[in-house]
Every structure is written in structure tokens, then in C-alpha cells.
Structure 1
Amino acid sequence: MWSRLYWLAVGGPLAAGLLVMGADPAPLQDLRNGLFDLYQRAAPRPYDPDLPVRVVDVDDVSLARVGQWPWPRTTIAALTQKLAGLGAAAIAFDMVFSEPDRLDPAAVVKLLPAEARAPAEAALAGRDSSDHQLAAALAASPSVLGAILTHGRGGAYAEKWGMASAGDDPRAFVPRFSGAVAPLPELAAAARGIGALNWLPDRDQVVRRVPILLGLDGKLVPSLSAEALRVAQGASTYVVRASNASGDQAFGTKSGITAVKIGALDVATDAAGEVRVRFTATDPRRFLSAADVLDGKVPPAEVEGRIILVGSSAPGLMDTRATPLDAAVPGVEIQAQLIEHIIAGARLVRPDWARGAEIVLTGLLGLLLALALPRVSAPIAGVLGLAVVAALGAGAWLAFTRFDLLLDPMGPGAAVLGIYGMGVLALYRDEQRQKKWVRSVFGRFVSPKVVERLAENPERLVLGGETREITILFCDLRDFTSLSETMDAQALTRFMNAYLTPMTEVVLAHGGTIDKYIGDAIMAFWNAPVDDAAHARNAALCALAMSARLEALNEEWRRAAEAQGRPWHPVRCGVGLATGPCCVGNLGSAQRLEYSCLGDDVNLASRIEGATKSMRVDILVSEATHEAAGDLAFLEADLLMLKGKSKASQLYLLAGGPDFSRSEAFSRLEERHGALMAAYGAGSFGEAAALAEALAASAPARLARFYGLYAERCRGAANPTDTHAASA
């Protein structure tokens, strides 16, 4: 009976998964595309500036220098002449000149009043129109114009190319359109090529593939990128290879286009005549400013022998598309990247056999894992499942990076994880038996909640714990007793909550573990239960943040007190830090366990916090914390003599964070502080008093009280050396 339920549990999800993979619904395609986008973002094609492709960009600088868009056709003509003169192999315009130039002088004259129109027309008599001037420039250069295919009627344009094919008729496989927004006939006749600018994004509007060929009114037409490649090579004819061509093993199946030959270049495509582009990150070296070209500031080597695409990256012109690498890429850059992809011989292929292979692999892995799970323990099954999933991911990544193949490990991986999840149910009886044993053995010694946690995680069955180095923080309010005497119970409760809540947030934000609240005091520690290599530094930064947060709270409380017409005295706290090995774990009694810590350094941190009041500072740290915390602004403070210890502990005050420690102000403070400590240690109390008084007058308020203490020691104590070591 159990075996039948097991096979139902693992076989049902596996069968459902195989059916979904076979149907390949749109959401599954979206997931797959997202995964393939991650591949490209993780390992984009590196940009090669030596590839003979550049974009002449009508950028914001060009618009500012030349004028707003659209520019007069005479300016476009001048740009074309400049590029042709510099030796461009092809000049392709990622734009459509479908209407006469509205800035042509003859068109502007027609807008004049009747009495002024005749003289202006006479003055313009015999002058070529700006469109005619552009046509002349196009005719004298290797130019390619853009057109946009539509589903309307009309707009067919002259074919500048020949089209040959082998195998099945390729017109049946390409995206088909019935109309076009084409260049002006005069311009179309002058250009050497005309290419379609259409994009065919996926459902999520991301451009992953760019068409080489499209269908217009029953004919094949090339894209702008294809025409730029053809014109640059001086080729005349495209050769399209489709299924069932000579040497193609399609076995009579009309599977689509396989390649397009453009001059000397064989371009592998998908069945619809599209190329999946291996994108690069946007690189400024790909772009030349149109204004610089017009002004003659572009080095000839940047243009000579290269395919030049003219377009715009200006945000205001809104010619952007999403790609796997970026949410907003200029359309002209996508055209340029396709040409680079083709010339560089790059490829990115989703093989025809990929989906079938993924379905078969999913079935095989699911079956093998289903057979193995009942024979191994749960940990081994988990390791096995994760290893298989990792191998699938690594194999797909290797196929992408080494062989330019797009394989989807999600289906087989999901099957492995699903079978593992169902298979774990086969171990349910053993798990329940183990939980029953835990409850029977430990139910009399620990609380029910802890019993349940132990039952879920038996590896926690250690009452003691582990010894590890941690940093402990104690934070205590100053003069809390006198403060509490001014409040009733409800007001005191509200105040403590308003204080402890933000302070706790600061501790948690810095990766600390709250151990306990002791009245108005907070105890926390770092590096347990989660490892924290920088635990001393993080604890010190937390202490600084707590001090800053208390300043902000004081300001809030002061404003509230003023609004209510009652007095307010600022609240201060002292923070002590110590670092060292402690016992950490679930500590307590048979009735109650708490995750806590024990050790000498816990006691040291508490005593250091107590010393902050007598030393008139906010934050003191132990020598071990000072050594481990690194690049913070520490200053030598005093010695702390602990009860039961034969040697005093050196204390340091924390003056600021890493930015302050690197500042000139701290360098000066540190130098003067060192002089004070040296004079004090040498018994030069008069000199030390003068230095301390000067520092008390110039140091920040949080340090002035400390230096005032040293001045008092030197001036007022009969024998200052007797008070050098603070007692705790």
C-alpha cells in the first residue's frame, strides 16, 4: 500500500511537469527567456572597438549645437557627405524620410503672407530643394535608408537587391506585412539600399532577436542591418537557405529558414529568419557625435571602411528598446550590435532539439531519483538532489559560455526538486518516530516550545553550547533612578518602550543579537549565532549609531516637552564593549532555555560600561575590541582594574567612525591626545593639565567631559597617580 502511494506521490507531479513542458505555455516561455537574459547579463559579449561598426549619434550635444530635431535635409545631406568623404563603407539611417522636408525654404515661403510670398519665391527660383540635395548626397554615397513595415496597405518601395533561395519557400516562415511607411520616392531612388526598421519583441517587450528578413506583400525584404552589410560589401543578392535544401536533413519537414548569405557572410538564423543577438554592454567607443562629424572633429580612422549607422540616443526622441542587458537601449545601437554580432562570427542558438532533449532528460532524472529516494536517508537524498540540480545549472552555463547554446535547466531541475519533495514524504514515518522519542525523553526537562524546536531540529540537543569569539555590548541609561522618580508607572513604561525600541532596531541593523534587557540596560553580542568576521567593528559602529540615535531621541523628547510646557533634561547612556572567547548556546535550566553567552568578557563589557560614567565618556571598549575593530577613531583612555584580576585592562574611547578616523581633525586630535597621555604617564601633571584644559575647550562635546576629568585629576588631586586606574 505504501509503495503504491509513493509512486502516486512522485509520479503525479512528474507526469504533470512533462505535460506542461510539452505544451510550453507562454508563462513558461517568459521564465525561460528571463533565465537566458540572466545568462547574457552574467557573461555579455565583450565589446571589440576594432569591429568596423560605428553609430553616428544625434545625441543631446548634437541637438544643442545643431538645433532641435528634425534637422533640415540639407544638414542630413552635409552629414552624409562628411561620412562619405571619410570613407564610410556604408551609411545606414535608422530613421524614415517619408515626408518632404518641412524646413525646406520653398515650404516655409508658402507660409508667408501673400504680399511677401512672390519676392521670396523669386529669390528661391532655380534653387534645388533640400530633399533634392539630400538625394544627391545619397546617390554619391553607399547609403541605406530605413522603412517601417505595417499591416496597412500601400507604401511598397523599390527593391535594391536580388533574392535567391534554396529549399522550402522562405516567404512562408518570415513575419508578414502588407504595407510600409517608405522613404520619399526621390530619396529611395537615390539610395543604394532600403531596409526595414521593424522590431519583433517578445511578450515582455524585450528585444532578444532581430529579423534579417521580413515579408512585404508576398515578397522578401531585408532589414536595415542586412542592407548595411550588403551595401558595405558591394553585394547584390541575398541567398536564403531553408529546410529541405540540398544537404539539409529535414526529412521533408518544413522547419523554416536556417541561414542567409549576405555577400561573404553566412548568417545563421532561426526558423523565422531572425538572429538572436549576443549583446554587449553599452560602450561610448561605439558612438560618434553627429555634431562632431559635421564640425570635422572625428578622426578619419573612426569612419574609414566602417559601417556607419545614423540614429539617436537622445531621451527626448524616445527611440529606445529593452534588451536582456538594459531596459532602455537606443534602437540604432541594437542594429549596430546585430551587425557586430554577425561580423565577429558570434552566435547564440536555441537548438531545435533543445526542448525535446529537456523533456526526455526531465523524465529520466525524475525516474532515477524516484527509484533512488526510498533506498537512501533524507540527508543523502538532499545532497543527491542538490548535486543534480547544480550539475544541470553548471551544464547549461557551460553550454552557454563554451558553445553559445541556450539550454533550459529549469524543467529538469524542477522535476528533481519536486521528486525530492515528494520522496521526502517516504521518510515521514521515521521522522515522526524520532520526534516521538525526543518528546518522551526531553518533555520533562524543557518547555513545550523548546521541545517542539528540538523535535524539528534534533541537532540542537546540546544544553551547553560552543566556545567562540564574540563581541559583547552593554548599554545603560545614566541616572535612570532619578529619572524614573519623576514619572508614574505608565509614563515610565511609555518612555522605556520609546527608548528601547529604536535602540534595539539599531542593534539588529548592525547584525547584533539581543541577549536580554536588564531594566533600562541592553545586552547584545555579535558573531553568534551567525558568523560575523567583522564582529568587533560592527559592534563599535553600532555603539556610535546608538549614541547618534539617542541624540535624535533627545531632540524629539525636548520638542514634545516644550509643546506640553514641562521641563526636560537630556538623557545620556554609556556603552561598553569587550571582545573575547565565550560560551554561546542554548543556556538555562531544564524548565527554560535561552540563547545567551557566558564568560569573563561578558563581565568585562559590563564593567567597562560602568566605567563610562566615572570617566565621563559615552563609549569605552576593551583592548581586544580596539585591536579587532580596525579603522575606527580610537583614543587611549585609562586602565580598568577588575576585581579578582591582578592586571589592569587598558581601555579606549571610541571617538568616531572610519570617515572621522581618516580626517585631519582626528589626526590633530590624536596627536594632542598622545601628548596628554605621555605627559600624564611621565608625571608631568602641570603640562598634562594644560593640555587637557586646551583639549576640553576645543574637542567635540562628547569628548570635552573626558578631558575635563583629566584636567581635574592633574589640578585637584593631591597624588594623581592614585586615581590613574579606574576601579570597577
Structure 2
Amino acid sequence: MEKGTRTVAEDEKKKDKKKPGRIRKFFSAVRLTGFVVLIGLLVIQIIDPYPVEFMRVKAFDMYQRAQPREVKTRPVTIVDLDEESLSEVGQWPWPRTIIGDMVANLFKMGAGVVAFDIAFPEPDRLSPNMIAENVSGLDPVLEETIRGLPSNDKYFANIIKQTRVVLGQAGFDRKIEDQEYRPPVKKSIAFRGTKPHAFVPILPSLVRNVPVIEKAAAGHGFFSLFPEPDGIVRRVPTLFQFEKDIYTGLAIEMLRVATGRRTILVTSDPLGVQQVGVAKGLILPTDKKGRVWPHFSKHDKSKYVSARDVLSGVVDPAMIRGKLIIVGTSAVGLLDIRSTPVEGTLPGVEVHTNVIEAVVDKAFLSRPPNMNGAEFLLTLFAGLVMIILVPMIGAKWTLALFLLIAGGSGGASWYLFAEKKLLFDAGFAMISTLGIYVQLTYMGYAAEEAQKKQVRSAFSHYMSPALVERLAEDPSTLKLGGENREMTLLFCDVRGFTSISELFDAEGLTKLINKFLTPLTNVILNRQGTIDKYMGDCIMAFWNAPLDVPNQEREGCLSALEMIDSLEILNERLEKEAEEEGRPHIPLRIGIGLNTGTCCVGNMGSDARFDYSVLGDAVNLASRLEGQSKTYGVTIVIGESTYKNVTDLACIELDLIMVKGKTEAVRIFSVLGDDQVAQKPLFIEYADFHAKLLKAYRNQEWAQVREDIIVANKMIDDLGMEHHGLYDLYEDRMQDYEQTPPGDDWDGVFVATSK
């Protein structure tokens, strides 16, 4: 029981030890950096600098361009001071008598309210009294008569006093010098809740109309539009503040006069303006500064009638009767051209028309204060998802998750705009999340690359590139242990190296070995082989480890053939060097042994130091076959397991041999050429003839074998191959067998006495 208790306690201690490790792993440097970046982005979102707001409103512009407001009702008609009117009546400003006649005609045709998107800040220069003052040399009687005539301004004032006219006022964001003080016009605003003076924009200057006209008007509204820094009019002010008094916009004042209301109701709270109410059913949702966000329509020419046609009385009465009339201009010379989210150029008067239509059709866009909180939470949620999951499940899956979140957020944002007329910005959250994803992915990639670079630097000098890359991809494989794999082994050794080495000193011999090993090594590596080790002038290599190599036997045999070719090129270069140095030249000759079989491959050695190598019986046999290449007078000797998978190459059987250290005979072959050589009719004929020769040899038909050897050598000459010593070996053996016959039960196996 006590022992069991101790075991439980020990388990608890182990769990406690693991917890700090897990916590440290979770709060890795990559994640901590991600948290810092996320906090910084959330702070930026709270501060909401202009670049962030700019990206947001541009996204909303895109929504409006994709789905501009469909015009359902046409409560407004624009009387246009167009180019044709200016050409016929004269340049602007027109005499106030003409403007008064135009207003009178509009009300005769049944206009509901007439508003001016124009101000009349100065007396009419064509009034009789102004002419009397400006023209010198007049007859006193005539001058007195002219001065007695009513002014054009009074004429205009008498007309608008009998009608419902809203005069325009212009607000400026700069102080106008020597501006005449005028007492404010009668108030038309009531407040509910907190007074909005702290939020309503303050304008230093207000350009109003001459007093005689201003006093006669039914209402006054400012028509100034203040484009945002990129020059686009998105939000239209309904209120502004001048000398601590709050004034209404032109569209709001028109609606007030049209509905017969004495005041409008501004509702606000400590966070700012909430809405402006004109009458029941005519409510304008605003931002905290009292600006409305109309859902703009495309430019609509059918809303316009020419001022010329109104004056001449030829306008369609249906365009006037019961309508709210705004007198404005589309003439380029009068400088009232604006840009909106859906139109690059639009007469400013049509912006006011969009506001009134949006009120009537309840087509305002709205951005409630809680949208900021929702966008903040989206940024927080998506950022945390990336920070937690990128290091955990990797960049590929988190990218798919990011695309899912981005698509869902973007779809929700579009749905809220298209169906609910709510402005929700998913852009900042998604850009922030993408930035966090890129930062986390880059840091993970950089850390991984640093680890790979360290592995490559440590092992690239004595391991194959394939192995180095595998270790770089997964450094955890650097541990003791191995695995069983079907592999092809190659041993290559120089023939007569002792004689060659006597021609060089130590330094020269080292250079020679390097010149020899370099091209042969390149051949092996280019054929997906792995160099196991160098043993003086000997090379050991293998295929199918650490990476799978399709057709490993073929790659090994073709490597052996290419090694022979590269050696010929090297011998030519060495011969020239020997001639230049005045020393004898002994050509380098090699023997190659190849065998395929199951081996144990992995990191062999001690805990302190180990090498990636291979062990197994197939390795020993490959080494023995390399040694037999000299005995059989051929360059390449391969085992039967290798031969079975390279029958398309130019191969011949050599013998049945029991190599030293083995108790069973193995069938061995030689590779004389690639598949192109194997397809030559002469080689096919030679290979068949050699097989018959070998059969006669095993049947102890010595005389027949000697005759066949002569023919076989002739075939080798015809093929242009270098004579091998195989048939000389058969001659020597036959002489021994004639003196000491192997017996009738001989199975053709030769027992090797040397390695």
C-alpha cells in the first residue's frame, strides 16, 4: 500500500514537472511575438487613425458601387442652371427679378417647396438704386426717379415671402475677414438628451443672404458639402455650429418646411448625436457628429429640368407639381461638381437630392456605435486563433482556416450592407489577422531554416545531399537506431593502387585520390545514391536510403557504367599531366561490386558520436563481389538479386561461386553496357552464344568450350568492347579440371579461396 502510495505521489510530481514545460512550450517566442503584434493592432483599431478609417470607407465605397441605391420615389426635382440656361439668359448671377419670376412660375405649377443650393450674399448689382450709385452723370430728375424704384432684392423678397422658399447658406472651414455680423435667424431646432454642441462641427464662417431676402424666407439651410481627404463626399452634415448656434442642412430644412414643422428634433447622448427627426416617419440616423450616410444612387438625368424651360413655362408640370424643388447648377463653370462613392463627377445639388430620397425611402446607411466593438472582437478572436493554431497545426491548415474566417466575415459584412443597410468593416480584422499569420509563419519558417542551416553546415561535408536534406527537414532523426530496408550496395576499388602510389609523394597522392573520388562521387550522387564512406581509394555507397529510390538496382548499375566513362576522361587528363611533369603514367582501373538485399540502415555508433551507415549480409556480399571483379577480369560484378531487376541492361552471367565466408553458392553477373547496348542485334547474338558456352562449360565439354571462346572473342571485337579476362579464367580452370576432373556430380559451383 505504501509502495502504491509512493507511486501515485511520484506520478503527481511528474505531472507537475510536465506542466511548466507545456506552459513554456505554449508561450514560445513565436506566440509571444504574435500576442505583442495583436495588442498593437488592437490599440491602433481603438485609436482609429485616418489610414484605418480610409481603408474602411473605401470598403464601404466598394459596396455602394457594387449595389447603388435603386431609385424608388422621386420627391425632388432639380431646376438646373445649366449651360443652355446661362447661354440664353446670361451669365450668372442673374437679376433677382428673373430669379423671382422663376420662383413664381414654380409655385404656379404646384411646387411644394423651393430651395436654393445657392446663396445671395450681396445686393443685386442690377437693382435700380445700384445703377444710380454706379453710373455717373445722370440727370438729377432721372436719378431720383431710378432711386425711387423698388430694388430687385425687394422684388425677390416679396415673391418668396408669399411662398415656401428655403434659402441656402454656405459654411466655410476658414475665417473670412471683415465678415459683417448679423444676428442669427429664428431657431428651428429642439434638443432631446444631451446638447450636441461638443460634437457638432464648428465652422469659423457662415455666408448668408442679404437681410431683406433672408427675413422673407420660410427656412434657411446650409448647403456646403465637405469632402473627405480623398475628395469624395460620403457623409453629409445635417448640423453645424457657428458662433455657438446650431444650424441645419439644406435637405433637413426643406423637409421641415415641407411638413409644416416649426422645429426639428435632435437626439443625442454623451457619446454624440444619434438622430435627427423631422416628423413622424422622417428620421435620419446620424453619426456622433450629426452626419448622415446616404446610400447613393447613380446620376439620374430624369431628376433635372432646365431653368430656361421653367422661365419660359414649357416644363412638364408633372415634374413640378407636389415636388420639392432644389435650384442648383450642373454647369462646370460654377464649380459645384462633386465625387461620390458611386460617381466620379456629380453636381453637388444631386447630393442633397440623395439625402431627401434616402429619408423618404428609408435608405440611409447606418453604423451604430456597437459596430466598433464587434470589429474589435473579430480582430481579437481571429488573431488569437492564428496565434494558437499556426505553431500547433502548421501554416497550410491555418491558411485554410483564415480563408474560411475571412470569407465568413466578408460575407457577413456584405449581408449586413445589402440586407440591413448596416456598415460593418471586416477589412481591418482580416488584414490584421493576415499580418499575424504571415508574421507567425515567417518566424516559424526562419527558425526552421536556421535549424536546417545548422544541420546542413554540420553534416554536408561528409553526408550525401539527400541525407543532409532529410536531417534538415527532421533533425529528430539524429539518434541511435536503424531500420530494415531493401537496398542496393556498391563497392568500388582501384586496381593496382600500390604501384600507382609509388609514383607520388604524400601530397601528390592525396591530390590524385581527390581527383579520382570527386567525379565518381558526383556520378553516384547524381544517381540518387548515398556515399557511406571512403576507405582510402575505395568507395562504399548505397541506394534506397535514407530516401526511397525507385529502380534502385538500375540506378546503381547505371552509376557503375557512368563511373567507368568518367574514369576514362580522368585518365586522359592524368596522362597529359604526367607528360607535362615528365613522369610515367599508369591508368587508373577500377573494380565494382553491386548487390541487393535487406540491410539494417541508420545511425550507428555511440551516444557521443555516430554515423549514418548500413549493416547486413548483403553488404558483405557486395564487398566480396567487388573483389571477384579482378578474378573474373571484368569491371562490374553484380549479384543475382540485382540482376533480376536490370535484365534490360547488357548483362551476361559469370559463374556460380561460393565466395569466402559464405556457405551457399551465388550466381553472379557482369554489366557490359546500358539498355541501348542490350538492344543491339550483335550483343543479343553474343549474349545467347555466351549462355551456350557457359552451359557447355558446366557440362564439362572442354573442347567445345575452347572453340566457343574463339568465336566469343570475335563477337566482342565486332561489338567494339574491351576484351575481358573471363574466358582466360575459363581456360585456366579447364586445364586444372582436365588434370583433376570435378566429377560427374559437379554442379558448376566454384569455391573462391580469396576475397
Bucket of the pairwise TM-score, normalised by the shorter protein: 0.5 to 0.7
Amino acid aligned to 2:240: L
**Cα displacement (A) at 1:404:** 1.0
Query: 1:18 aligns to what?
Result: 42
Decide whether the 8 Å contact of 1:82 with 1:294 is kept in 2.
yes
Q: 1:230 is paired with a residue of what secondary structure? A: helix
- CA distance in structure 2 between the partners assigned to 1:198 and 1:218 by the alignment: 18
CA contact (8 A) 2:129 2:147 kept: no
Measured in 2, the distance between the counterparts of 1:82 and 1:438 equals 94
Secondary structure of 1:54's counterpart equals: strand
Bigger Rg, structure 1 or 2: 2
- Find the counterpart in structure 1 of residue 101 from structure 2: 78
| Match status 1:214 vs 2:240 | yes
Task: Give the Å deviation of 1:191.
Answer: 0.9
Counterpart residue number, 2:410: 393
C-alpha separation between the residues in 2 aligned to 1:22 and 1:271? Answer: 16
Deviations 1:328-381 (A, max 9, x none): 322211111111111111121122112222122211111122222234354323
Q: 1:76 & 1:437 partners in 2: Cα distance?
A: 90
Contact 1:373/1:423, CA 8 A, preserved across alignment: yes
Letter of the structure 2 residue corresponding to residue 56 of structure 1: V
What residue identity is the alignment partner of 1:42? A
Confirm or deny: 8 A CA contact 1:160 1:192 kept in the other structure.
no
Q: Could you tell me whether the CA contact under 8 Å between 1:173 and 1:257 is conserved in 2? A: yes
Moved more, 329-338 or 161-170: 161-170
Query: What is residue 52 of structure 1 aligned with on the other side?
Result: 75
Going from structure 1 to structure 2, the CA distance change for 1:443 and 1:163 (only over 3 Å counts) comes to farther
Deviations 1:46-73 (A, max 9, x none): 223x321111110111111211111111
Residue of structure 1 in register with 2:196 after alignment: 170
Deviation per residue, 1:541-568 (Å, 9 max, x gap): xxxxxxxxxxxxxxxxxxxxxxxxxxxx
Q: Does 1:94 align with 2:117?
A: yes
Q: Distance in 1 between matches of 2:196 and 2:79?
A: 33
Map 1:245-260 to 2 at 5 A.
254-260=270-276
Structure 1 position 307 matched with structure 2 position 312: no
Aligned counterparts of 1:194 and 1:270: Cα–Cα separation in 2:
23
**Deviation at 1:9?**
4.0
Counterpart AA for 2:273:
I
Does the Cα contact within 8 Å between 1:206 and 1:322 map onto a contact in 2? yes
* Map of 2:342 onto structure 1: 325
In 1, Cα distance between equivalents of 2:525 and 2:214 = 89
Once residues 321 and 302 of structure 2 are traced to their aligned partners in structure 1, the CA distance between those partners, rounded to angstroms, is 15
Amino acid at match of 1:389: A
- Structure 1 residues 295, 303: CA separation in 2 closer, same or farther (over 3 Å shift)? same
Within the candidate set 240, 249, 271, 1:223 is matched to 249
CA distance 1:427–1:191, shift in 2 (3 Å): same
Alignment of 1:638-649 (within 5 A): none
> Quick check: 1:373–1:381 contact (8 Å CA) kept in 2?
yes
1:185 aligns with 2:211: yes
Gaps of 5+ in 1: 244-253, 447-460, 462-728
Look up the SS of the partner of 1:384 in the other structure: helix
Instruction: Please state if 1:137 is matched with 2:159.
Output: yes
> Alpha carbons of 1:163 and 1:16: their partners in 2 closer, same or farther (altered >3 Å)?
closer
Deviation at 1:136, TM superposition (A): 1.3
Question: What displacement does 1:134 show?
Answer: 0.7
Counterpart mapping for 1:677-688 below 5 A: none
Correspondences of 1:104-503 after superposition (within 5 Å): 104-114=127-137, 116-118=138-140, 120-121=142-143, 124=146, 126-150=148-172, 151=175, 154-156=180-182, 158-177=184-203, 179-243=205-269, 254-264=270-280, 265-425=282-442, 426=444, 437=466, 444=526
Separation in structure 2 between the aligned mates of residue 420 and residue 356 of structure 1, nearest angstrom: 22
Aligned letter for 1:22?
I
SS, match of residue 365 in structure 2: coil
Q: CA deviation at 1:178?
A: 5.3
Which amino acid counterpart does residue 84 of structure 1 have in structure 2? F
Q: Once the 2 structures are TM-superposed, how far is the Cα of residue 42 of structure 1 from its aligned partner?
A: 1.5
Amino acid in the other structure paired with 1:83: L
Distance 1:438 1:66 in 2: 91
- What percentage of residue pairs aligned between the two structures are identical? 34
Identify the residue that residue 7 of structure 1 maps to in structure 2. Answer: 31
Equivalent residue number for residue 703 of structure 1:
none
Q: Which residue pairs with 1:628 in the alignment?
A: none
Contact between 1:237 and 1:263, CA under 8 Å: does it hold in 2? no
2:127 and 2:151 in contact (8 A); partners too = yes
Q: 1:117 to 1:396 in 2, by over 3 A?
A: farther
Counterparts of 1:630-645 in structure 2, within 5 Å, are none
Cα distance per residue 1:142-198 (max 9 Å; x no partner): 101112235456543553443322211123321224552211111011111111223
Structure 2 residue 53 is the aligned partner of structure 1 residue 29? yes
Counterpart residue number, 1:491? none
**What SS class does the counterpart of residue 275 from structure 1 fall into?**
strand
Cα distance in 1, alignment partners of residues 87 and 99 from structure 2: 16
Report if aligned partners of 2:222, 2:247 keep a CA contact under 8 Å in 1: yes
The structure-2 alpha-carbon separation of the partners of 1:142 and 1:423, relative to structure 1 and needing over 3 Å to count, comes to same
AA at the equivalent of 2:58: G
* Cα deviation 1:184-242 (Å, max 9, x = unaligned): 11101111111122333323332221122222222222111111111111111112212
Tell me the amino acid that sits aligned with residue 108 of structure 1.
I
| Separation in structure 1 between the aligned mates of residue 180 and residue 287 of structure 2, nearest angstrom | 29
Per-residue deviation at 1:408? 1.3
Q: Distance in 1 between matches of 2:467 and 2:232?
A: 55
CA distance in 2, matches of 1:307, 1:85: 14
The answer (yes or no) to whether the contact 1:396–1:409 under 8 Å persists in 2 is: yes
Give the match's secondary structure for 1:298: coil
Residue equivalent to 1:38: 62
Deviation, 1:301, is: 1.1
CA gap 1:439/1:88 in 2 versus in 1, 3 angstroms: farther
Q: Is the 8 A contact 1:57 1:310 kept in 2?
A: yes
The normalised TM-score by structure 1 is 0.56
Q: Is the 8 A contact 1:110 1:117 kept in 2?
A: no
Deviation of 1:438 (Å): 10
Residue 272 of structure 2 aligns with an amino acid whose one-letter code is G
SS at match of 1:159: coil
Query: Cα offset for 1:317?
Result: 0.7
Map Cα deviations across residues 359-417 of structure 1 (whole Å, 9 max, x no partner).
22211111122222234354323222222212221111111111111111122202321
Q: Deviations over 1:632-674 (max 9, x none)?
A: xxxxxxxxxxxxxxxxxxxxxxxxxxxxxxxxxxxxxxxxxxx
User: Match for 1:141: what amino acid?
Assistant: T
Contact 1:54 1:288 in 2 (8 A): yes
1 CA distance for matches of 2:350 and 2:266?
A: 26
* Deviation larger for 17-26 or 85-94: 17-26
Cα pair distance change 1:440/1:212, threshold 3 Å: closer
Q: Please give the root-mean-square deviation of Cα atoms over the aligned residues, in Å.
A: 2.8
Alignment correspondent of 2:625: none
